[in-house]
Structure 1
């Protein structure tokens, strides 16, 4: 092996091994890092509100009030969703009766156009029933424990996130000074600009997304309500929040609307209404709302947006998919301000000024 091959091989192996241990560590530390990263992003969003309150209040009370307002807002969203879910559960018997003819039509179509027979389906049902009985009878206590553990973990992480937000807001000046002390005096101004720009990226993106979600919830509710979809507010709110997951969220939202709209009621007019609603609203979102409300503040190439979403899902699930874009936007700002990392900043961004023939 010549010298050039060794020079390329060693950094490549180090990069692969380092990436493996990095992502393995992120997965293992999910319980600690996911609430903390979420709190950092949300704290950056609340900084302008905190600065506004500090004109009349001291930082402690301003940070506490900002955190409480965000907590109340999130509880309001949960209450709205819970109310709509309750209505859906109450109507479940009626929904099953409505879906029964549709399921029978699908079965008859499968019998006529595929090699599947009714005997195969009955055999599958019997095997599935036996398996469910075996699994449910022996592990009911374990399932109950796992459910309680999951609920407890969610509530603790939920509350812990807001505790993090309060401390991050209250001690943000101390954290900023700490970062500045890590660099020489000659670079402090550049570091200050980097810190301010990273905060602006997160604030602009999340604030724009929040406004977009509210507008989309209203538009989806109007369209689905006119179409005659039951529980249209629940579907509209869920579909709007799913837009936090780029590309994939809109598809999932439309799928939910079709399932809870057409399949549960079985009317062709509802099917047409759902398709028209999502087509028109997503057109307005892509070409009117997104450019003007969110804009291109998070300057990330679509290819790396997709990669970030996939990696975020692999590392932290749905929360990782939601956090992927703002985190990548912040990293891109850091890359563009660090001379040694500027090539990575150019690679991630959509800027073509650095292209060479």
Structure 2
């Protein structure tokens, strides 16, 4: 009887999970700006609180000033990126010719050393730029359409932020009223505090890590003498918003610039090597030190959820994957039913590994000792 009941619960949980994923996919245009608004509201809340408590401003005025300052900083960053990127695009023809020249030399060297003809390497037919645009016209139209949706998100997200910050006390009171027992209310308060700490720690830590990585990237590019070192250094740091993949994308552009402007191919490899080393330092030392143990997701789970959320929501999903999963872990940790899932999402302590290793070593020694007795 219990076995049948357990199977029924498993089927219900699986069906509920599939339904949630389906609804999340169907309503992504509605959910994505809301999730971004929640995250950014957590980031902006200390500024709002400062204006309300220290400067004694009205709540609405405090929220409007905080959101205006935040959106102005984001807009300024995008303007600076656009200006610098336009300067690079003005020299794109020169970069293209030099890259093509070096690529042809590399192809000829490969042809001489291996005996493979160049047409077998790059193909015999040349493709003009117009033909490429023609073939990808549908993709361009889709991108423009998607850009409209992105622009609408930029409008909706600050609007949602305003209302979340304005009605924050009201929403918290609603959650308290939804729990009838006093013990449940205390548990709800604990969950809300931990959720806020997780998101605040993640966001503030991410901004700090991006600044440090941007400085390190810029120093590395300056040492190699690459053009636009600060632009590429901080652009790659900004792409840390997309974990693991952003650093790869961010290293390709300065590597191409190095290939176009430097005499040796090794400068391009040097750019990739420096960025890879900084990524190693960031992942193993900087982020754990700054972010701390509050966003305690293990690396395997982090990679899995980034892939899954990218399949679900694309690039916005990759950005939202870690904070959403970290929030779910807090909820699972306080749930009796899903506590095991919360455990498997978290970091495995070194003590756990050392104890397991000692136990296995003890068993191995015991088996070895037993075999020696049998041989005697």
TM-score normalised by L of structure 1: 0.86
Contact 2:99 2:259 in 1 (8 A): no
Structure 2: gaps of 5 or more residues: 360-376
Residue among 322, 336, 348 paired with 1:339? 336
1:1-357 to structure 2, matched below 5 A, reads 10-55=8-53, 56-109=56-109, 111-112=111-112, 113=114, 117-118=118-119, 121-125=122-126, 132=132, 135=135, 146=142, 148-186=144-182, 187-263=184-260, 265-268=262-265, 270-271=267-268, 273-275=270-272, 277-350=274-347
State the structure with bigger RCO (CA 8 A, min sep 6), 1 or 2.
1
- Give the Cα–Cα distance (whole angstroms) in 2 for the partners of residues 343 and 205 of structure 1: 23
Larger displacement relative to structure 2 (232-241 or 279-288)? 279-288
State the Cα distance separating 1:300 from its structure 2 match: 1.3
- Give the Cα–Cα distance (whole angstroms) in 2 for the partners of residues 184 and 116 of structure 1: 77
- Give the Cα–Cα distance (whole angstroms) in 1 for the partners of residues 287 and 48 of structure 2: 26
- Give the Cα–Cα distance (whole angstroms) in 1 for the partners of residues 21 and 173 of structure 2: 30
Change (3 A) 1:264 1:36: farther
Q: Summarize deviations over 1:66-96 as a string: whole Å, max 9, x none.
A: 1111101111210121012111101101101
Q: Summarize deviations over 1:156-205 as a string: whole Å, max 9, x none.
A: 11121111111111111111111111111321121111111101110011
**Secondary structure of the corresponding residue to residue 340 of structure 1:** coil
State the Cα distance separating 1:130 from its structure 2 match: 9.2
- Give the Cα–Cα distance (whole angstroms) in 1 for the partners of residues 303 and 161 of structure 2: 28
- Give the Cα–Cα distance (whole angstroms) in 1 for the partners of residues 187 and 9 of structure 2: 30
The number of equivalent residue pairs is: 350
**Secondary structure of the corresponding residue to residue 298 of structure 1:** coil
Change (3 A) 1:183 1:264: farther
Contact 1:98 1:266 in 2 (8 A): no
State the Cα distance separating 1:210 from its structure 2 match: 0.4
Change (3 A) 1:114 1:196: farther
Residue matched to 2:367: none
* Two-structure CA RMSD over aligned residues (Å): 3.0
State the Cα distance separating 1:252 from its structure 2 match: 3.0
State the Cα distance separating 1:16 from its structure 2 match: 4.3
Change (3 A) 1:25 1:105: farther
